[in-house]
Amino acid sequence: SVIKTNLKLFVSTEDNQPYLSIPCSEHKITSAVWGPLGEFVIAGHENGEINQFSAKSGDILKKIKEHTKQINDIQSSVDNTMFITASKDNTAKLFDSTSLDHIKTFRTERPVNSAAISPIMDHVVMGGGQEAMEVTTTSTRIGKFEARFFHAAYEEEFGRVKGHFGPINCVAFHPDGKSYSSGGEDGYVRIHYFDPQYFDFELEV
């Protein structure tokens, strides 16, 4: 049986009714963000596909498939010119919002549940880990589920932050770029403030 899902677009009105509903019968949408100027919506699917839907007609404007497994999260840059995807294929990828051109890839050894772009630095943060059903009690230890920091231009990992006792399900930078938050399957939301040296850090390549 085919699971049918709709992408529903709303405007801020009292009746809370969508002004447009886009049927998506092939592959379920798992995450979506607005594109620049609200002209289109960028949606990630369970098969790793990314579609760009017109916010006026609902038509597919562009379609790409850079991931091999489900896209878990999509987050935009502060100016909406780029977005980052997090996938079960153990990668996060950076794309141009308008052209959907693939820009960078950040690789890990575990599924990536969430990824975010710093609003002030050339950095991305990623969180993930194995699904709860795949994690045995013997393998669970403090620090196994780290938030991982990569340089956005060089695709190099330069830092990890420990703390969660389970997979990280969501990460987000504060709008001022001076801190970030992570939410884990352990039920905790952790807020981390960056040390002064973080802002002076330069990656040696």
Which pLDDT belongs to residue 10?
73
> What does the buried/exposed string (b/e) look like for 179-190 if buried means 16 or more CB atoms within 10 Å of the residue's CB?
ebbbbbbeeeeb
45: tokens are: 């699917």
Question: Which tens digits make up the pLDDT trace of 107-116?
Answer: 999 999 999 9
Q: Tell me which residue of 134, 43, 158 sits closest to 97, measured CA to CA.
A: 43
How far is residue 120's CA from residue 100's CA, in Å, rounded to a whole number? 22
How far is residue 24's CA from residue 17's CA, in Å, rounded to a whole number? 19
More confident residue, 140 or 45: 45
Question: Which tens digits make up the pLDDT trace of 69-111?
Answer: 999 999 999 999 999 999 999 999 999 999 999 999 999 999 9
Q: Which residue has the tokens 């990656």?
A: 203
Q: Are 45 and 68 in contact (CB under 8 A)?
A: no
Local structure of 133: helix, strand or coil: helix
- Torsion sign over Cα 153, 158, 161, 165: positive
Question: Which tens digits make up the pLDDT trace of 36-74?
Answer: 999 999 999 999 999 999 999 999 999 999 999 999 999
pTM of the model: 0.89
User: How does residue 143 score in pLDDT terms, banded at 50, 70 and 90?
Assistant: very low
Q: Tell me which residue of 44, 39, 1, 5 sits closest to 22, measured CA to CA.
A: 5
Q: Tell me which residue of 167, 147, 158, 151 sits closest to 105, measured CA to CA.
A: 151
Percent of the chain with pLDDT over 70: 88
User: How does residue 133 score in pLDDT terms, banded at 50, 70 and 90?
Assistant: low
- Sheet with 145-151: strands ordered across: 112-117, 123-128, 145-151, 157-164
Count of residues in the chain: 205
More confident residue, 191 or 15: 191
Which pLDDT belongs to residue 1?
37
Which pLDDT belongs to residue 35?
95
